[in-house]
């Protein structure tokens, strides 16, 4: 009788141990989850990276960094509405965070929600008025809203501090061209092509400016 009870007890311990191990493996440590998500992202497996990362939520992680990273992965996977939601959660958790707002701009712009993205950019600039990303994106936003005068102003603002930025020069030139300031646009395009002769956008703009 005693041997039977002992055997039952040993079997029970083995079952409990197996269950405990299974539970432990179903939700890996947070550090392992994040590392695996980085590895999947590096492979371009964005959906898998999202799936892996969401295990952190099941493990009780509701942190700023969790929502920030989830928003980024969802953006990469073209899940733009989900990305917006995740970035907004991160922005709430980190109320003074500029990076969460910069992240939020990405899926908004990807969806062509220019007015919403404009509001976020201005929130950022109220905190950091010389932010390169906020200013350059706002210039691009105004260009897409067909507000070319405003776009020109922001491109010029950026070029004060980053005069060698070819892409910002191209943005300025196109903003001028869209306002029919062909002579001014041609000068900027010419400056770009002096240093980057095969610049596709500048070459296309130059042809239009010259009426070709």
The predicted structure's pLDDT at residue 211? 87
Domain with CATH 1.25.40.10 in the chain: 33-126, 130-212
Four-residue CA torsion sign, 24, 27, 33, 36: positive
At 27 the pLDDT is 59
Per-residue DSSP letter, 27 = S
Taking alpha carbons only, the member of 161, 186, 162, 158 closest to residue 173 is 186
Tally of CB atoms within 10 A around 177: 20
Please give the pLDDT value at position 157: 97
How many Å apart are CA 32 and CA 56, to the nearest integer?
Answer: 10
Residue whose structure tokens are 């903003």: 175
139: its two tokens: 């210039």
Task: Give the pLDDT score at 26.
Answer: 58
* Residue the block writes with tokens 């007015």: 115
Q: Phi then psi for 77, rounded to 5 degrees?
A: -85, 10
| Two tokens, residue 163 | 């005069």
Q: Is residue 107 within 8 Å of residue 87, measured between CB atoms?
A: yes
Spell out the per-residue pLDDT of the chain, length 212, in tens: 444 444 443 333 343 344 333 334 555 799 999 999 999 999 999 999 999 999 999 999 999 999 999 999 999 999 999 999 999 999 999 988 999 999 999 999 999 999 999 999 999 999 999 999 999 999 999 999 999 999 999 999 999 999 999 999 999 999 999 999 999 999 999 999 999 999 999 999 999 999 86
Residue 109 tokens read as: 């712009």
The separation between CA 54 and the C-alpha centre of its own chain, rounded to angstroms, equals: 18
The CATH class of 33-126 is mainly alpha
The CATH label, of 3.40.50.1980, 1.25.40.10, 1.10.1660.10, 3.30.70.20, for the domain at 130-212 is 1.25.40.10
Tokens of 192: 């770009």
């Amino acid at each position: 009788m005693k041997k039977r009870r002992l055997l039952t007890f040993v079997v029970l311990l083995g079952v409990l141990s197996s269950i405990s191990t299974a539970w432990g493996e179903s939700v890996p440590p947070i550090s392992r989850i994040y590392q695996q998500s980085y590895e999947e992202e590096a492979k371009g497996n964005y959906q898998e990276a999202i799936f892996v990362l969401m295990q952190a939520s099941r493990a009780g992680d509701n942190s700023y960094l969790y929502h920030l990273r989830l928003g980024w992965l969802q953006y990469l996977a073209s899940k733009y509405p989900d990305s917006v939601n995740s970035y907004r959660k991160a922005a709430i958790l980190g109320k003074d965070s500029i990076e969460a707002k910069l992240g939020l701009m990405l899926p908004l712009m990807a969806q062509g929600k220019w007015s919403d993205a404009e509001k976020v950019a201005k929130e950022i600039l109220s905190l950091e008025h010389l932010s390169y990303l906020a200013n350059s994106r706002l210039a691009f936003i105004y260009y897409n809203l067909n507000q070319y005068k405003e776009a020109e102003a922001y491109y010029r603002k950026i070029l004060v501090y980053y005069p060698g930025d070819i892409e910002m020069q191209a943005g300025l030139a196109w903003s001028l061209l869209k306002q029919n300031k062909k002579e001014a646009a041609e000068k900027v395009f010419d400056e770009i092509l002096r240093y980057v002769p095969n610049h596709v956008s500048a070459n296309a703009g130059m042809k239009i400016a010259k009426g070709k």
